């Protein structure tokens, strides 16, 4: 049966700009629904990106003849006025705003600034491609800021390494003293993971910079808008090839979260080394007052809180990544409101890295390395491999050489003396190749370091090459 026409009296009143939808509903959302649906407190930080995307869309509509050039100019002027207003907003202004999201807010304010023409801005555009575009614009900026933060820590490590190419210290495996290395080599072992993080970030940034604007809600735009021109005006690298995929694609969010989580893990490992090496038990490094805190009870304490916080925040970033992957794994194609949760995850991760990275960079840049304490921690047992290498150079098979030196280590333990103090006759007994050898020369940590001159080794020339490579990365 045909339904009777809706009369004016039956049509629910509308508030221009208050909501981007509602014509087919007889009432507004329940308070509980409004509370769970409203995202302005989270996505408000995208207002600059929304204004920027809307200005470009207004120009595209004008260039396509969908609206007049005068109307396009009026929309751009109105959006400029909106931006000027929002720049001055205080927390009280944001708290008073009752708009559903940042896109609704910008459109409402545009109506106040530009008048009825504001209603034409959304022609051919959906919030689905609008939010996807705004968020990618943010993601491009966030990636650039993250790269700068990673570069700061990497640079601090390289700068400090350059001053400690000749500083000898123990390297550890299984948290046991293993072999001597230069302090520079150890520092650079933390700079290289950050370089890999930056490579991953550059690769991910390539996929972030793909513009979804013009995809509409799911099927594309029915008006002859020039998406290539839009892409160029907004600084994107490429265009989304499929509108169904474009509005739902948050792979780039997961990728950026992975890069952030991986970087946080690397920062955590650096922090763990520095926390240990700053203890009285090690004493290899001393943290500056600027990046240490004290105890409320114990006056003597110097706590590495910046490093501990960096170590702790790694867990949060891993959680953000895990949450995002769980969010995406069960979604059907097209846009779903679940994706509203993507912003809190990425904002939180990038904010955490934004405070951790400068703090870690500052900690490294201002700390000092106790060269004497580092050198004193290198004992003669750490040169056991060098003894085996000496025998190998005399023609002894490595496995045989390994066993012979192992017997020397056992003898030192039995005598209760350093390996270097084991009597010469014991050396001669375990292998005749030690007969006549300058045993004292064999126990030289700097010579051990210099001998490891292969690419990636700890020799001064190899370390200098690493430093040059990292400097070249920038």
Which positions are annotated as active-site residues? 174, 295
Q: What is the SS3 string spanning 301-321?
A: CCECHHHHHHHHHHHHHHHHH
- Give the Cα separation of 39 and 124 in Å (integer): 23
**Alpha carbons within 13 A on the beta-carbon side of 191:** 27
Residue 10, both tokens: 């039956």
Round to whole Å and give the CA distance between 88 and 272.
Answer: 43
DSSP, res 224: -
> In 3-state terms, the chain is what percent helix, strand and coil (to 5)?
65, 5, 30
Burial class (CB in 10 A: 0-12, 13-18, 19+), 266: buried
Residues 6+ apart with CB under 8 A from 368: 285, 286, 288
Q: Which residues lie closer than 8 Å to 465 by C-beta, 6 or more apart? A: 455
Tokens of 254: 């997961």
Q: What CA–CA distance (Å, rounded) separates 75 from 57?
A: 10
Answer for the pair 63, 229: CB distance below 8 angstroms, yes or no: yes
| Dist CA 157 CA 273 (whole Å) | 13
d(C-alpha 238, C-alpha 252), whole Å: 14
Q: Which residues neighbour 358 within 8 Å (Cβ) at sequence distance 6 or greater?
A: 149, 152
Measure the CA–CA gap between 65 and 49, rounded to whole angstroms. 24
CA distance linking residue 429 with residue 431, whole number of Å: 5
Torsion sign over Cα 325, 327, 331, 337: negative
Contact by Cβ (8 Å): 124, 333? no
- C-alpha distances (whole Å) from 267 to each of 188, 197, 352, 470 are 13, 11, 12, 17
What does the DSSP 8-state code read for residue 443?
Answer: S
């Amino acid at each position: 049966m045909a339904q009777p026409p809706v009369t004016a009296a039956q049509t629910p009143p509308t508030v221009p700009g208050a909501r981007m939808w509602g014509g087919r509903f007889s009432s507004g959302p329940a308070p509980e629904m409004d509370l769970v649906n409203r995202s302005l407190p989270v996505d408000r930080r995208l207002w600059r990106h929304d204004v920027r995307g809307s200005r470009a869309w207004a120009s595209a509509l004008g260039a396509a003849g969908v609206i007049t050039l005068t109307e396009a100019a009026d929309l751009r002027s109105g959006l400029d006025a909106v931006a000027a207003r929002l720049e001055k907003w205080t927390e009280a202004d944001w708290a008073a705003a009752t708009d559903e999201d940042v896109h609704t807010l910008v459109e409402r304010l545009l109506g106040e600034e530009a008048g009825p023409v504001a209603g034409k801005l959304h022609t051919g555009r959906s919030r689905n491609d609008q939010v996807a575009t705004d968020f990618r614009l943010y993601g491009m900026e966030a990636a650039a800021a993250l790269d700068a933060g990673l570069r700061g820590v990497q640079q601090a490590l390289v700068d400090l390494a350059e001053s400690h190419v000749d500083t000898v210290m123990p390297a550890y495996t299984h948290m046991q003293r293993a072999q001597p290395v230069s302090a520079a080599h150890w520092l650079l072992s933390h700079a290289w993971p950050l370089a890999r993080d930056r490579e991953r970030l550059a690769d991910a940034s390539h996929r972030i910079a793909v513009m979804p604007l013009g995809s509409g809600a799911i099927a594309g735009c029915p008006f002859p808008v020039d998406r290539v021109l839009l892409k160029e005006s907004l600084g994107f690298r490429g265009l989304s090839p499929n509108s169904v995929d474009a509005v739902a694609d948050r792979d780039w969010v997961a990728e950026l979260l992975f890069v952030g989580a991986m970087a946080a893990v690397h920062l955590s490992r650096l922090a763990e080394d520095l926390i240990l090496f700053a203890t009285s038990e090690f004493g290899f490094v001393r943290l500056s007052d600027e990046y240490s805190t004290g105890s409320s009870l114990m006056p003597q304490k110097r706590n590495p809180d910046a490093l501990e916080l960096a170590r702790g925040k790694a867990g949060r970033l891993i959680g953000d990544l895990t949450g995002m992957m769980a969010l995406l794994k069960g979604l059907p194609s097209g846009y779903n409101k679940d994706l509203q949760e993507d912003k809190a995850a990425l904002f939180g991760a990038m904010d955490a890295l934004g405070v951790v990275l400068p703090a870690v960079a500052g900690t490294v840049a201002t700390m000092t390395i106790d060269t004497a304490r580092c050198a004193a921690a290198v004992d003669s047992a750490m040169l056991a491999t060098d003894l085996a290498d000496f025998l190998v150079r005399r023609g002894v098979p490595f496995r045989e050489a390994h066993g012979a030196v192992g017997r020397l280590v056992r003898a030192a333990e039995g005598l209760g003396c350093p390996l270097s103090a084991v009597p010469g006759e014991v050396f001669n007994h375990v292998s005749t190749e030690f007969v006549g050898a300058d045993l004292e020369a064999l126990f030289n940590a700097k010579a051990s370091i210099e001998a490891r001159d292969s690419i990636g080794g700890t020799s001064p020339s190899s370390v200098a090459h690493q430093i040059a490579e990292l400097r070249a990365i920038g």
